[in-house]
Amino acid sequence: MRGNVVYIAVAAIFAITAAYAQSSAAFVFLALYVLFLFVRKRRLFFISVITACFFYPYFTYVDQHNKTRLSSAMTEFLFRLATPVAVDGDRLQAVVNVDGEKLQLVYYIKSQEEKQALALHLAPGAVCKVKGTLKRPALPRNPNAFDYRRYLRFHHIHWILTPQSISLQDCHPSSLTIYERLLSLREKGIRQIATHFPAESIGIVQALLYGERAQLDEPLLEGYQKLGLIHLLAISGLHVTLLVGALFSLLIRFWTKEAATMMMLIFLPVYIVLTGASPSVIRACLTAMLFLAANYGKATLPPLDGLSIAFVIMLIADPYMLWDVGFQLSFAVTFALILSSPFIMSHHSPLWRLFFTTFIAQLSALPFLIYYFFEISLWSMVLNMIFVPLYSFLLPLSFISVAACAIHPLLSAPFIWLLQKVIVLSSKAVLFFSSAFPLSLVLGRPSFWLIIAYTAAICAAFVQMEKRCYWGIGWVVAVITFHALSPYVDRYGEVVFLDVGQGDCIYIELPYRQAVYLIDTGGTLPQQKEPWQQRNRNWDVGKNVVIPFLKSNGVRTIDKLIATHEDVDHIGAAEEIVRGFTVKQLLVSNGMKKNSVIYEQLMQIARQSQVSVREIARGSRWSKAGISFYVLHPSTAHPDDNNNSVVLYTKIGGLSWLFTGDLEEAGEKELIGAFPRLKADVLKVAHHGSATSTTELFLDKIQPKIAVISVGEHNRYHHPSPSVIERLQKRNTLILRTDQHGAVRFTYVKNHGTFSVMLP
């Protein structure tokens, strides 16, 4: 079996995938792999079949028993804190145990005093009695959005517990397990860094030593993500290799090699817990433990076998880990580097070794980065060659600084000073490249067959590199090129009413991507909060919904961005859109108030980004690919902002469409007065279904077959109005609502199309 354990690991992958997906494609790939082993690796055939026969029913058993025993009708709970509480502004989160089942606790703190008290006294092991409600985790509400419900289910969590209040009088400590004691020790270490280190370095040092990123500034974290450097802030093989090497060298000076090995085998599981137990650190520590154990037994363990054994052990411990992005990236990159190590080491120049190590790591991570993040940074290769050696210096310096600080703060002063200087310099570089010159290539989420093509091309490139032939890289470039151009050969177009909460954002893509239009951008409604309520990670419609959707579709250029009027819930995210994409033209209503703050901000960002701005009014029109768009309103400026909304009419996919912004009754009367024969198959209901719009007279004239209402779930305005719903139902109009259905999508080819919704 020496050198062949990887085939068993691959059998586990196919078996678990087939058990989860229950698709014909998954079973075909499993059968083809078994056939390959029978033909080429006969002696591995039976053990691989046994592995598949174990993992398929094992995953099925685990998945079938991953169910809740609790009920949404429950209102009283006795929970035990399983993790340290995370407090961000006025929100407190933790994982708790109720009757042996894990729940995600989310509590909204009511005062600054309560915040301080809860953060100080709530710790792992605390048992509290509360009244509250259970809610199912949210399903993805937009195409290609993060599936929070699946994520929590893969962590065996089925409910979100929201207490009405948490009284410390109803909480008491209990005896701690070893795991909880280690978590408390981890929290103590994180607090020590926050207390004694400069503000600019706290987040980086916490990430490097404890895998904790909560204190990292959001722009800096996004910068590391954009530039493909985020792996440096995740504890992985680099950290463990440096730590194990340093500790082992120190221990054998005082004890025997065998005793030092045993100490390391005891220490590494502790280190896993102290650093947050992410898949990458578990992989690195488990692999190190396997090598140490083999060395203790006077045996040698090939690196690929060690990695494969760690892979199988982790899947036995938790088969859901196969779908964790950190798990996938960690094993894929390490696997590629191990296989390529003879090629890398054949180069005598350290610079060439660094280049090929970085290149191979980047290439092996490529399909995962594109699938999960929809883009790749063109800076990533160069910056990794600079930052990986830099972090090889920063990591031990961080360890030394924290260790010296634990002895005495004065002793750590010179180390912290040097650490601070290096971190500030590196952070400035990250922010500069990620904001001023991002140089990223947006490709969109690849299809299943594109993933296969990427994998095949990368494997072919690696095989050719082993032969010192580099033309195989051309295959990877060819797949990237095809991926980038694939929307331009797609005969389907689409109209998507994105679920942006209480706001509007409508995406229109013409067939063969002849044009991309965005009607409004949505926007986060401002909320007045005291300083203690402000969060480090604020949810933003532009950053969290619209931009990820556009990138997942592979959008790099927006031909027209139409701002219907100046309300925040319609164009509040326009700045992020203009900064993040090439916008060819910004269309604004000629009734927009030129002295409004949001209008001035919009014009300023348009000028900075050199976006062409055009005012439109009744009579404006444009055509593309045989599809014409007509501006029906406004004709003159109205005193009411909503009645200055741009109203667009077009025919797409065999249907006529009317997009009405926030038009109200006065505007509707003016519209049907100017166009008495106007009719539309699909009506974008104005003003989120407010009672001041969509009047009886207007509906009698327009006669829509389908009405789409873009409205926030449980919004403060109680939209849509029951009277509007009643008017539409009375006319047998099909009603599609983003609060109930999530994003509403119309996919079409020529004069035929189909509506679909995200939520059942």
Report d(CA 161, CA 135) in Å as an integer.
7
Hey, which residues does 623 pair with through a beta bridge? 628
634 cis-preceded (ω within 30 degrees of 0): yes
Whether the per-residue pLDDT at 267 is higher than 80: the answer is yes
Angle between helix 448-466 and helix 473-485 axes, rounded to 10 deg: 160
Q: Between these two residues, 132 and 529, which has the higher pLDDT value?
A: 132
pLDDT value for 1: 57
Buried b / exposed e along 671-687 (16+ C-beta atoms within 10 A): bbeebeebebbbbbbbb
Whether the per-residue pLDDT at 507 is higher than 90: the answer is yes
Cα of 261 vs its chain's centroid, Å: 39
Is the pTM higher than 0.75? The answer reads: yes
Average pLDDT over residues 268-275: 94
Cα of 502 vs its chain's centroid, Å: 22
Whether the per-residue pLDDT at 222 is higher than 80: the answer is yes
pLDDT value for 14: 95
pLDDT-derived band at 190, boundaries 50, 70, 90: very high
Q: In the chain, count of helices (H) and strands (E)? A: 27, 24
Query: For residue 589, how many C-alpha atoms fall within 13 Å in the half-sphere facing its CB?
Result: 32
Whether the per-residue pLDDT at 263 is higher than 80: the answer is yes
3-state secondary structure of 156: coil
Average pLDDT over residues 141-161: 97
What number does CATH give the domain 76-175?
A: 2.40.50.140
Of the candidates 379, 373, 369, the one whose C-alpha atom is nearest the C-alpha of residue 432 is 379
pLDDT-derived band at 240, boundaries 50, 70, 90: confident
Hey, which residues does 441 pair with through a beta bridge? 376
3-state secondary structure of 608: helix
| 562-588 per-position pLDDT tens digit | 999 999 999 999 999 999 999 999 999
| 60-100 per-position pLDDT tens digit | 999 999 999 999 999 999 999 999 999 999 999 999 999 99
Q: Where are the domains of the chain?
A: 5-64, 76-175, 182-445, 451-488, 490-757
Whether the per-residue pLDDT at 594 is higher than 80: the answer is no
Report d(CA 709, CA 741) in Å as an integer.
10
Q: Would you say 181 and 125 are in contact if contact means Cβ atoms under 8 Å apart?
A: no
Burial class (CB in 10 A: 0-12, 13-18, 19+), 209: buried
Q: What residue type is 373 in one-letter code?
A: F
pLDDT value for 79: 96
Whether the per-residue pLDDT at 127 is higher than 90: the answer is yes
pLDDT-derived band at 529, boundaries 50, 70, 90: confident
| 397-418 per-position pLDDT tens digit | 999 999 999 998 899 999 999 9
Buried b / exposed e along 23-34 (16+ C-beta atoms within 10 A): eeebeebbeebb
Phi–psi pair at 571, nearest 5 degrees: -130, 20
∠ CA 488-491-494, nearest 5°, is 95
pLDDT value for 55: 97
Helix (H) or strand (E) holding 137, with range, is: none
Average pLDDT over residues 586-600: 86
Cα of 31 vs its chain's centroid, Å: 33
Report d(CA 108, CA 115) in Å as an integer.
9
Residue 727, C-beta contacts closer than 8 angstroms, at least 6 positions apart: 694, 695, 696, 699
Q: Which region among 284-298, 484-498, 527-541 has the lowest average model confidence (pLDDT)?
A: 527-541
| 303-354 per-position pLDDT tens digit | 999 999 999 999 999 999 999 999 999 999 999 999 999 999 988 899 999 9
Whether the per-residue pLDDT at 658 is higher than 70: the answer is yes
- Determine how many CB atoms are found less than 10 A away from the CB of residue 97: 14
Mean pLDDT of the chain: 93
The label of the residue with tokens 């199988």 reads: 312
Report d(CA 591, CA 567) in Å as an integer.
13
Of all residues in the chain, what percent are helix, strand and coil, respectively (each to 5)?
A: 55, 15, 30
- Determine how many CB atoms are found less than 10 A away from the CB of residue 696: 11
Whether the per-residue pLDDT at 160 is higher than 60: the answer is yes
E strand intervals along 590-689: 612-616, 621-624, 627-633, 647-652, 655-659, 682-684
pLDDT-derived band at 684, boundaries 50, 70, 90: very high
Helix (H) or strand (E) holding 162, with range, is: strand 157-163
Secondary structure string (H, E, C) spanning 506-567: EEEECHHHCCEEEECCCCCCCCCCCHHHCCCCCCCHHHHHHHHHHHHCCCCEEEEEEECCCC
Report d(CA 760, CA 702) in Å as an integer.
28
Superfamily (CATH H level) for 490-757:
Ribonuclease Z/Hydroxyacylglutathione hydrolase-like (3.60.15.10)
Report d(CA 77, CA 159) in Å as an integer.
13
